[in-house]
Structure 1
Amino acid sequence: KVDVLSLSDKLRDYKVTHQPKSDSVYIWFDATAQNVGVANNENLKFSFDNGVKKDSVSLFYRYNAKNEMVLNNSGGNLLPPGKDFVITSNYFVDKIQPEKWTLVSDSIQQDFTAEIDEKNPFEIHIKSDFKEGKKYSLTIPKETASSFYETTKISKRFDFEADKLENYGEFVLTLENAPTQKFWIQFMTERGDIAYSRYVNESKIDFKSLKPGTYELRILVDENNNGVWDSADFADGVFAEPVYIFEKKIEIRPLWDIRETWKLPLNNLETDSATVTPLNKEEITKPLNPENKE
């Protein structure tokens, strides 16, 4: 948690957003209405208090008229079975008016719901009874999605198709010695990105509709049940919460139903079918991200 206040006389109307455990703070304001950085670079000053440290920072800001609020489809035009259609925004989404939107398939309007994602307010999730092989068009008129001081300036149409189940695989994992606390079970791509993530407290987890590919499987344990994976704190001598890496890669193939059993160690000395991976210096400075990227 961090409290941020403007120390600049010109900047009085603004919003501050910060996700828990994030190292970034967003400050939103209407530059033209307050004449901030419109004609020249403006030196903006802010104070911050995170409960441990109080300080102030300054930065130079210049208004850019091209920085408009834009909606995009970053997930591609093929929608995996059983998934929401997700729209991403470059701005924090504050309000939407889905009653003015239309979802059409075969020239027939479809029922749907639209919600701003609670954990990631830069995403809008569209839910509907999507049918395999069907093509859809979602139309979002201008000014029906907005941030605090900004709104979408142009209408957008997103064309996509509900992909067939036969193009995806399924993975069922059985855990022995499963953590008593909740944990994230994650599929990592070869690039180290999180492809799929679930926050559960179960000994049997079923992942459906997985894209074919080779993945690394890992578990992040939430020992203190605070909803985030906590890294090490050298100053207070606190260890990082446990991380387990499955001993072999997982290869997902279309229509394959893969089943694995993973025996987690009862303590740090036992490593049968799992490894307790110590974090190196580089990993310690780059906190693991447990957020869902499905």
Structure 2
Amino acid sequence: MARVVVALGGNALLRRGEPVSASTQRDNIRRAAKALAQLMGEGHQLVITHGNGPQVGLLALQGEAAGKGAFPLDVLGAETEGMIGYVLQQELDNAYAGPAQFATLLTQVEVDPGDAAFRTPRKPVGPVYTEGDARRLAEQRGWAIARDGDAWRRVVASPRPVRILEIDVIRLLVDQGVTVICAGGGGIPVAQRPDGSFVGVEAVIDKDHASGLLAAELKADAFLMLTDVPAVFTDWGAPAQRALGDVTPQDLAALDFAAGSMGPKVQAACDFVNRTGDMAGIGALEDASAILACQAGTRVVPALSR
């Protein structure tokens, strides 16, 4: 039995251009749960994380539209972690035929308040806009904005995760055979005060970096990042684009990837492999089983196991 940390990308739960509605999200989560149930049926022990960028942005907009102002990002992160975790836990329970226990855990993740990411927001959240609408909203609401593919989105600070505060609780549940859903959206960002207490911070942690840290702390045998593309590509979007199969962190270090999309996944995969010597996979949700079997996706492996 392999212990596998599976990170579900935001695009795997809500495809680009789809409405951020409860029914649409449940339909996509149901599809994800079926793929995860297949992995469990093959004997793998899963720990599951997920993205939350579209959901955080929508809740912020809803708060502003109600005239009450948006809650801070750490609170919105906690809300979406509970919301998505609830639906995912329920759909997993429905999809998996065997005996299993599932638990969703709100997870605080410590960040460094001096992280340079607070000076250069880059993490996309919320819906996509035309450039004109994005610039108008940025002026009205004091947002930072950036291009995201063919559209524009709000961007916020995304500091690196330093420590998972609930790691001992997660480890305890996993050791008891519970399938844990945790660190959703990268976890709830918190910082430690000089007196040792913790406080939430205005940021969204990258889910892939937090998931990679989680996988390493749990001594996972594999770390999967599942999204809406079948692999990591060189020259993405160009006629010469090429899917990567087995690659090493050294191979990937010589290539450039978009900071707002594939870049964090590639870096998180390399960090996990360099730290543990185990495999990290990136690919499509429906190929999860094949990625573990080295038959699909991009597999980042140590140089000696190539």
Which of the five TM-score ranges fits, normalised by the shorter chain?
A: under 0.3
Structure scoring higher RCO (CA < 8 A, sep ≥ 6) equals 2
TM-score scaled by length of structure 2:
0.23
Give the TM-score taking structure 1 as reference length: 0.24
Higher strand proportion: 1
Task: Say which structure is richer in helix.
Answer: 2
**Rg larger in 1 or in 2?**
1
